[in-house]
Amino acid sequence: MKPSSTEESQLKLLFVPTVDPTKQGDLLELSILHGLRSLLGKQCIDYPRKKVMYHDWSDTKKDTLHGRGFTLLTEPIQDLSEEDRTLGEFDAILYGCGHMYGEKSIAEYNKLAINRNIWVLDGHDLHGHAPKKITIKEGDKELEVIGSQFQKSFKRELVEDNLQLVYPTGFGIPKHRIRSIDLTKKDQLFQKTAPDNSIFKQVSDIGGGFSHHKFTEEEKYYDDLSRSWFGLTCKKGGWDCLRHYEIIAAGSVLLFKDYNKKHPLCSPQCLPCLSYSTKEELDDITNRLVVNNKPTDEYWFYLYKQREWLNNVGTTEARAREIIKTIENNL
C-alpha cells in the first residue's frame, strides 16, 4: 500500500498501538492505523512499530489473530525508516485500543503533543468488562452495556447522545479488498459463514477461538461471499463487525437482523440495508429481491447503494479521514 503522503492533510500524528503481542488483532486499531498511514504517510508514526501491519510475524503469528488476519492484513503497509520513526513534536497523539487490555497512557509520549492534544480509540464491544457501564433501551429491553470510557475519543459502539468530544467511528475495509460486482457467480442464497443468530439457529458462535471459522484461506472466504445473493449479519458482542464490510466488498447485498434497533450513532452508521427480525421477514425480503434466480430492480438498488456507502463511509481511508478532520477541528 503506497501512502498518499501529505496531499490531504498537514497533520502530524503519533499513533500509539497496543503493545501486548497476544493482543495485536484488534480490528478497530488495525482499521484506523491502516487508513491513517494511507492518508498521512510519514506524518503518521506508529510508535512502537505495529509489527503485524508490516507482515512482521516475529512476535505474533498471523493465524493466532482474531479473524486469522483476513482482510486488514492481506497486504503489508509501507514501512518507515528509523529516521522517519524518530519522535519529536506532534500536533496530536492517538492511542489505539491497548486500554482494553490494561495498558496505560505513557507520560513521555504525552509530553510530545502540542497543547496535550491526546485522543483514544474506544474499541469496546457493548458487552464485556470495562470500568464504566450504563443502562440503555434497545427495542423494548433495558440492557447494561459498556459506555464511553474517555472524554476525547472515537468510539464505534457509541450509544450515548450529546457527549462532549466523543465521536462515532467504526471498522473499515482496505480499498484493495473491494471486488468488482459479478452476478454470474451467484449460486447460493446466503454465505456459509452466516452467524447463527442471523439464521435463527441456536447461538454457538459467540466468543473467541476459531471453532466456528469455516475457512482458513482468505480468498475462499471471499469467494463464498461473492457466490451468495445475500450476506446475512447481526449484532454479536456489538453492532459493528468486519463481516458487514466484507459482505458488501464481495459484491453481495447485506441483510442485517434487527438493524432498526441499533442506536444511530453506533457503527455501522446510516447503512442502507434491509432490517429483518423474523424468519418470515427474511423470507419475504429474499423472495422479493431475487425472483427465479434473477435480481430485481430493488436488489440492484441495494447492491449499488451499499457499495456507495462502503466507498464513502466504510473504507479504512474514509474512517481515517473523519478522524483527521475531527482532530484538526479541535487543535
Tell me which H or E stretch contains 44.
Answer: strand 44-46
**Which residue, chain included where needed, has cell 466523543?**
166
What average pLDDT does the segment 76-103 reach?
96
Secondary structure (DSSP) of 128-187? S--S-EEEEEETTEEEEEE----SSEEESS---SS-TTEEE----B-GGGPPPP-GGG--
Question: Is 90 in contact with 12 (CB distance < 8 Å)?
Answer: yes
Using the Cα atoms of residue 285, residue 291, residue 297 and residue 303 in order, give the sign of their dihedral: positive
Global pTM exceeds 0.85: yes
What average pLDDT does the segment 202-220 reach?
75
pLDDT value at 145 more than 70: yes
Nearby residues of 184 by Cβ (< 8 Å), 6 or more positions away: none
pLDDT value at 6 more than 70: no
Query: What is the pLDDT confidence band of residue 205, given thresholds at 50, 70 and 90?
Result: low
What average pLDDT does the segment 302-312 reach?
98
pLDDT, tens digit (0-9, with 9 covering 90-100), for 248-274: 999 999 999 999 999 999 999 999 999
Query: What is the pLDDT confidence band of residue 2, given thresholds at 50, 70 and 90?
Result: very low
pLDDT value at 307 more than 50: yes
> Hey, what's the cell of 278?
423474523
Q: Which of 23, 37, 35 is nearest to 99 (CA)?
A: 23
> Hey, what's the cell of 144?
447494561
Residue 3: per-residue pLDDT: 44
C-alpha Rg value of the chain to the nearest Å? 20
> Hey, what's the cell of 209?
477461538
What average pLDDT does the segment 286-314 reach?
98
Q: Which of 120, 18, 103 is nearest to 327 (CA)?
A: 120
CA distance 100 to 195: 25
